[in-house]
Amino acid sequence: MTAVLGGCGSTGSSDVTLRLVAADYGDSAANSSEKYWKALAETYESAHPGVQIEVSVYSWNDVDAKVKEMVDAGHAPDLAQIGAYADYAAAGKLYPASDVLSIRTQADLLSQLSDAGQVKHTQYGIPFAASTRVLFYNKTLFAKAGITPPTTWDELAADAEALKSKGVKYPYALPLGPEEAQAETMQWLLSGDNGGSGYTDDIGTYTIDSTQNVGTFTWLKDELVGKGLTGPVAPGRLNRATAFAAFADGQVGMLNGHPTLMQQAARKGVKFGMVPMPGRTGKARASMGVADWMMAFKQNGHADRIGDFLDFVYSEKNVLAFSREYGLLPVTSSASDTMSASDKATDKALRPFLAQLPTSELYPVGKTSWAAVSASVKKDIGRAVAPGGSPSGVLTRLQTAASSADSSDAG
């Protein structure tokens, strides 16, 4: 789907036309992002008669490729709101955030999201939307099994055993299939021994085969998968969308999920609860955070105009409107504070996710090697928990590939 949005005035009558390519967060024509951007563009243009905003909206299946195609052809948009920024930043095609955002707007961005937008200590990726993960559980199935939500891995395994004894199809759904295995993997890595180590250390070096991470996948293989507590589909073949659908059908006891699952489960009448992801011996050190990105391309100039428009886009009112429309978390402190204090039912529903955001950890998206590493994780991580699989062997292979990709990018 594509649509070009803008005001009624002709391009010829505008001093400047800013072109933005954006992703569609809607799941139907009724809530397409086209409507959000059309209203935003018209409001901005009415107060800025010398500027026209042209927005092209594409599905998530197409938007990253569309921007790449435009940039490769020498026709970069002024702004792109897509999934990754690091390649364009590394190629010198983006304005630093400080060149376009006002000091007030830049300071309002949540710090851990801004930090994830950096390449070599300069921020190029401007967070646009965020989400975190929590552990969903089926209240009906838990009541039948006489159990309470887990706070440690051992409790999670015990709960899964109780659910299995009651005939639950997926006591704990572990989607390590190719759709989004990097997400489930990271959530478990962050909950491991000694706070987990994630994909990288504090200075950005890959640590995929750390002792903690090998221990995490050994535990998953031995205590969940090996004991038949993850359901009839091998984790390496179970995709997130399938796991979410099974939860909405009442077939899953527990799984990691993001805000979209709330709506999906509620539509099917599933009674569910949400708790922080358990850690090895207590609550996980951090939740996994995910952000989508806005970026400003240098090719056409217009830094001042771009910055003024972005200050409008990132106003509290507009950030809240977008977050509420699509069930996502605000990326600014002002909007987050307002949502946290709100009595609106939709805002209250997002509080468990919002509570995780300040301590969340994001993928290492500032590394140009991350795309290749993520693809390798999606392809291979399921083998670590398969019968006869070697967690240390699989993680070591992934680490070797990651280190190689990192060094070639650095070179």
**Tens digit of each residue's pLDDT (9 = 90 or more) over 230-271:** 999 999 999 999 999 999 999 999 999 999 899 899 999 999
φ and ψ of 142, to 5 deg: -65, -40
Mean pLDDT of 164-175: 98
pLDDT for res 233 = 97
81 and 291 in contact (C-beta within 8 Å)?
no
Proportion of the chain above pLDDT 70, given as a percent: 95
In which band, very low, low, confident or very high, does the pLDDT at 27 lie, cut at 50, 70 and 90? confident
The Cα 319–Cα 103 span in angstroms is 17
What are the strands, taking DSSP E only, across 173-301? Answer: 252-257, 272-275, 288-296
401 and 223 in contact (C-beta within 8 Å)?
no
Within the chain, what is the greatest distance between any pair of CA atoms?
71
Proportion of the chain above pLDDT 90, given as a percent: 84
| Residue carrying structure tokens 């099917």 | 268
pLDDT for res 12 = 41
Which H/E stretch holds residue 308?
helix 303-313
Tell me the one-letter amino acid at 208: I
pTM for the full model? 0.87
pLDDT for res 8 = 38
In which band, very low, low, confident or very high, does the pLDDT at 10 lie, cut at 50, 70 and 90? very low
Q: Where are the alpha helices (DSSP H) in 20-172?
A: 33-47, 63-72, 86-90, 97-100, 103-108, 111-116, 139-145, 153-165
* pLDDT of 58 strictly over 60: yes
* pLDDT of 341 strictly over 80: yes
| Residue carrying structure tokens 């921007």 | 67
The token duo for 221 is 């293989």
- What is the per-residue pLDDT across 275-316, written as a single tens digit (0 to 9) for each? 999 999 888 888 899 999 999 999 999 999 999 999 999 999
In which band, very low, low, confident or very high, does the pLDDT at 31 lie, cut at 50, 70 and 90? confident
Average pLDDT score over the chain: 92
In which band, very low, low, confident or very high, does the pLDDT at 13 lie, cut at 50, 70 and 90? very low
Full set of structural domains in the chain with CATH: 3-130+291-362 (3.40.190.10), 134-286+369-410 (3.40.190.10)
In which band, very low, low, confident or very high, does the pLDDT at 410 lie, cut at 50, 70 and 90? low
In which band, very low, low, confident or very high, does the pLDDT at 168 lie, cut at 50, 70 and 90? very high
